[in-house]
Amino acid sequence: MWASILIASLGTYVEKLLGYLLPQRILKRESVRRMTGLLPVSLLAALVAVQTFASDQAFLIDARVLGLGVAVVALLLRAPFLVVILVAAASTALVRWLGWMP
Amino acid sequence: MGWMRNHRKSGGESQSIHTNALGIGIATGAYALSFGAISVASGLSVLQTQSLSLFMFTGASQFAFVGVIGAGGGAVIAVVTALLLGARNSLYALSLGPVLTPKKKEVPFTALLTIDESTAMALRYNASRKASRRAFFATGLSVYVFWNIGTALGSLGASALSDPGVLGLDAAIPAGFLALLWPRLTSGSGSENRKMWTVAVASAVLAMMLIPFLRPGLPVLFSALVAVAASLLWSKASPPSEEN
């Protein structure tokens, strides 16, 4: 685990550093700008989906779905980050405690 | 740190920079509470969790790293996912270079603080080099301090719990990713937002369909192909002058 933490930390730091060392003309390339802008959208959306519906390699619908739904409502109401996460966790914990959803 | 020495001189603007920097720091610090808790719930130790905040210091990559580990995706996929998410920091640094013009010895420290929040503030106060440097370093340092305090409190708090599932922490993970994703879907122009939504939905659907066929973590990596395909497609279709 420590090795992967070290490699990932070093790697993300080098990514930051590279930007200050690379020539500016890279910025002029539309496809590069597009791709670095779209990558987080792709990965974060996929992470939302997988972390909500996957249990190992099985597709599973449980109380996490409700938590995510509540998070969407909170975001639509422009709630701050922490509130979004708190209400998602709390609503999930609540329906589990009530025994309504696993 | 010279930028701190004479920050009273330009009055109103520097005050608003510092107030904003502090507010952003506190908000992300609160968010770091959930990172600390989720990281420990994913199986990392308190010390490992803190190391990520101290040295990786880029929220989305940190969340993704512990998310993949927690889902059983393994170290290699966790590292690759974190690096793919961190690629945008290179772009930030590229745009910041001519604005901040850091001296050679300042570059390593400037690089560490190059994140979403500090970049946004530096580019917002870009009237002068002095103002944007002040905005960048004030925000970067503020977020760094509060992010690490929040991480410590969250991880220590969660390590005191026996079963994080009881608190719904497993639902906090996708909610956290959604909160990171949301501004990217809603803050652009109408047509830009539509493109972002298209990429987001396509990536989510692709990842979900791949869940049964690939080991945990890989479906997310494959979804990056949607971003690659879309960027190639749209770069050709749209005029090069379009802002993104």
DSSP bridge partners of A58: A55
Shared domain for B235 and B172, answered yes or no, is no
Q: How confident is the model at residue B44 (pLDDT cuts 50, 70, 90)?
A: very high
Shared domain for B132 and B193, answered yes or no, is no
> What pLDDT was estimated at residue B77?
96
Q: Count of domains in chain B?
A: 2
- Mark which of B159, B187, B215 sits at the end of a domain: B187
Does residue A60 belong to the interface with chain B, where contact is any CB pair within 8 Å? no
Taking contacts as CB-CB distances below 8 angstroms, the residues of chain A near B171 are 52, 63-64, 66-68, 88-89, 91-92
Shared domain for B10 and B82, answered yes or no, is yes
Q: What is the secondary structure of B78-103 as a DSSP string?
A: HHHHHHHHHHHHHHHHHHHHHHH---
Domain that holds residue B213: 188-244
Taking contacts as CB-CB distances below 8 angstroms, the residues of chain B near A27 are 91, 94-95
**Which residue stretches of A22-80 are H helix?**
30-53, 63-76
> What pLDDT was estimated at residue B144?
98
- Three-class SS state of A54: strand
Taking contacts as CB-CB distances below 8 angstroms, the residues of chain A near B182 are 75
Shared domain for B129 and B94, answered yes or no, is yes
Q: What is the mean pLDDT of residues B50-68?
A: 96
Q: Mutating which of B46, B84, B155, B181 best tests the A interface, going by the most A Cβ atoms within 10 A?
A: B181
**Which residue stretches of B106-167 are H helix?**
107-112, 116-124, 129-159
Do residues B135 and B122 lie in contact, with contact meaning Cβ atoms separated by under 8 Å? yes
A20 min Cα distance to partner chain B (Å)? 6
Shared domain for B154 and B37, answered yes or no, is yes
Q: Which amino acid is residue B209, in one-letter code?
A: M
pLDDT higher than threshold 80 for residue B71:
yes
CB-nearest partner of A54 from B107, B211, B232: B211
DSSP bridge partners of A55: A58
Q: How confident is the model at residue B29 (pLDDT cuts 50, 70, 90)?
A: confident
- Distance separating alpha carbons of residues B157 and A3, to the nearest angstrom: 25
What's the complex ipTM? 0.90
Shared domain for B153 and B32, answered yes or no, is yes
- Mark which of B160, B187, B214 sits at the end of a domain: B187
- Distance separating alpha carbons of residues A15 and A5, to the nearest angstrom: 15
- Mark which of B142, B161, B187 sits at the end of a domain: B187
- Three-class SS state of B57: coil
At a CB cut-off of 8 Å and minimum separation 6, what does A96 contact? A63, A102, B165, B166, B168
Does residue B41 belong to the interface with chain A, where contact is any CB pair within 8 Å? no
> What pLDDT was estimated at residue B59?
93
Shared domain for B174 and B205, answered yes or no, is no
Q: What is the mean pLDDT of residues B189-196?
A: 94
The answer to whether the Cβ–Cβ distance between B203 and A54 falls below 8 Å is no
CB-nearest partner of B75 from A1, A21, A38: A1
Taking contacts as CB-CB distances below 8 angstroms, the residues of chain A near B180 are 40, 44
Does residue A59 belong to the interface with chain B, where contact is any CB pair within 8 Å? yes
Q: Which bin fits B120, alpha (ψ -120 to 50), beta or left (φ > 0)? A: alpha
At a CB cut-off of 8 Å and minimum separation 6, what does B216 contact? A50, A54, A56, A57, B68, B71, B72, B73, B74, B77
Shared domain for B120 and B208, answered yes or no, is no
Poorest-pLDDT segment among A68-72, B14-18, B52-56, B205-209: B14-18
Does residue A39 belong to the interface with chain B, where contact is any CB pair within 8 Å? yes
> What pLDDT was estimated at residue B6?
43
Shared domain for B179 and B198, answered yes or no, is no
> What pLDDT was estimated at residue B5?
42
Q: What is the mean pLDDT of residues B70-97?
A: 94
Q: What is the mean pLDDT of residues B202-218?
A: 94
The answer to whether the Cβ–Cβ distance between B231 and A38 falls below 8 Å is yes
Shared domain for B151 and B210, answered yes or no, is no
- Distance separating alpha carbons of residues B36 and B50, to the nearest angstrom: 8
Q: Which bin fits A56, alpha (ψ -120 to 50), beta or left (φ > 0)? A: left
The 8-class DSSP code of residue A55 comes to E
Top mean pLDDT of A90-99, B49-58, B235-244 is at B49-58
pLDDT higher than threshold 50 for residue B15:
yes
Mean pLDDT value across chain A: 92
Searching chain B, which residue's CA lies closest to the CA of residue A87?
A: B172
B7 min Cα distance to partner chain A (Å)? 25
Shared domain for B84 and B22, answered yes or no, is yes
Shared domain for B204 and B180, answered yes or no, is no
Does residue B88 belong to the interface with chain A, where contact is any CB pair within 8 Å? yes
The answer to whether the Cβ–Cβ distance between B223 and A43 falls below 8 Å is yes
pLDDT higher than threshold 50 for residue B107:
yes
DSSP bridge partners of A59: A54
